[in-house]
Amino acid sequence: MGIFQRIVDELFNRKLKRGIIGLQEQAAGLQEQLTRCEQAVYDIQRKQDRIEGDVRELRDMLRAYISETEVKRNEAQVLWDSRYDEEREKLQYMTRLLEESEKCFRRVAINGQNRLQEPSEAICRLLSLLEVKDVANPLHGFCRIGRDYDGGYVMYDDFADRKLAYSFGINDDVSWDMDMAGKGIEIYMYDHTIEALPEEHERFHWFQTGIGAEDTPQDKLMSLSSLVRENGHQELSGMILKIDVEGAEWDVLPNVPRELLARFDQIAIELHGMNNPDDYAAICASLEKLNSTHQLVHIHANNYRLGVQTGPRYLPDVLEGTYLLRGKYEFTESENRFPRTLDMPNDRECPDIFLGRWGNA
């Protein structure tokens, strides 16, 4: 029994060992398969990551392409709009040029006809208010203040005791103001249409305010009376005034008190719209106010604008005038013919307008 049992146990142990070895071999095989599966899953994951990266890259490239395309489309639209605007502006300019040319031809024809006609009563009145006289027994001559051509004024050279000037209408030119400041004169400058002066000077006092018939702060306009009072100059005399305000002078001058005008010894002014019959009443009222305190001593036609022939007299649309204070200066009849030596055409590419004798109308 004992030997038999040992034989049985030995056989069982051998069979068990072989079974265990088989199971171990199967387990090893399964482990190898599992490893291969894990490697396959890892490889698949890497491929998936690469594919997702490629997809993201393609998506970014597509977005960049769409963005670039949109930018180019916008640039093309802007370029198209710009060229369209340029062509439209050119067309508008050519249209205006043709209209101006047509007006010039008509004006030449009309002026030729009007030379043979007597001027109207309104024109005669206006011309009578523009009578030029000479300074009697002058102690000074005339000089040019400001740059050559457009921007300069011919004025009476009596600045020795002058300390203060008011300048209305600056735009991009301060040559008149520079020359006056060079003479030791403080310049109070006004222009509500600009953001800054093109040049500075220690004697410049600039304000972003325009001159008006009355105070309208919402429009950045103040009357001459208010500005002089605001600066504390209401009791001063012997000041100088320069006005170039593109036609606003006809609203301003009738509202300036005569006693204030008389505080300016000399006035240089550009007169606009002289050929507009609708403005003759305002123009004549302004000139009458100006003539009540001052005398016109120099006149020059701005050749950027044409004029009309009124009998023997040619009336430019824009005139530059220099006025001297009555009472301070004496005057006599003028035999001068304009333009004079110091005058220059405003538009250097065109000849000056010959006015001839501009004395008693």
Q: What is the pLDDT of residue 360?
A: 64
- pLDDT (tens digit, 9 = 90+) per residue, 246-305? 999 999 999 999 999 999 999 999 999 998 889 999 999 999 999 999 999 999 999 988
Q: Which residues of 322-343 are buried (b: 16+ CB within 10 A; e: fewer)?
A: bbbbeeebebeebebebbeebb
Cα distances from 351 to residues 23, 84, 149, 339, in angstroms, run 120, 36, 11, 11
Q: What is the pLDDT of residue 146?
A: 98
Q: What is the pLDDT of residue 106?
A: 57
Residue 228 in contact with residue 209, Cβ under 8 Å?
no
Torsion from C-alpha of 131, 360, 258, 206, nearest 10 degrees? 10
- Structural domain boundaries of the chain? 1-114, 120-357
Q: What is the pLDDT of residues 109-158, one digit of tens each?
A: 555 545 546 678 888 899 999 999 999 999 999 999 999 999 999 999 99
Pairing of strands 221-222, 239-243: unpaired
Q: Give the pLDDT band (50/70/90) at residue 159.
A: very high
Structure tokens at 9: 């146990």
Give yes or no for a contact between 361 and 167, defined as CB atoms under 8 angstroms apart.
no
The pLDDT, as a whole number, for residue 103 is: 64
- List for the chain the helix, strand, coil content (%; round to 5): 45, 20, 35
- Identify the CATH class of 120-357: alpha beta
- On the 0-12 / 13-18 / 19+ scale of CB atoms within 10 A, 279 is middle
Q: pLDDT for 17-68, tens place per residue? A: 777 787 777 878 878 887 887 787 788 888 888 888 887 887 888 788 888 8
pLDDT mean over 183-205: 97
Q: Are strands 186-190 and 164-168 parallel, antiparallel or unpaired?
A: parallel
Residue 62 has what pLDDT?
79
The pTM assigned to this predicted structure is 0.72
Does 12 score more than 60 pLDDT?
Answer: yes
pLDDT at 261: 98
Q: Which pair of tokens denotes residue 153?
A: 């004024």
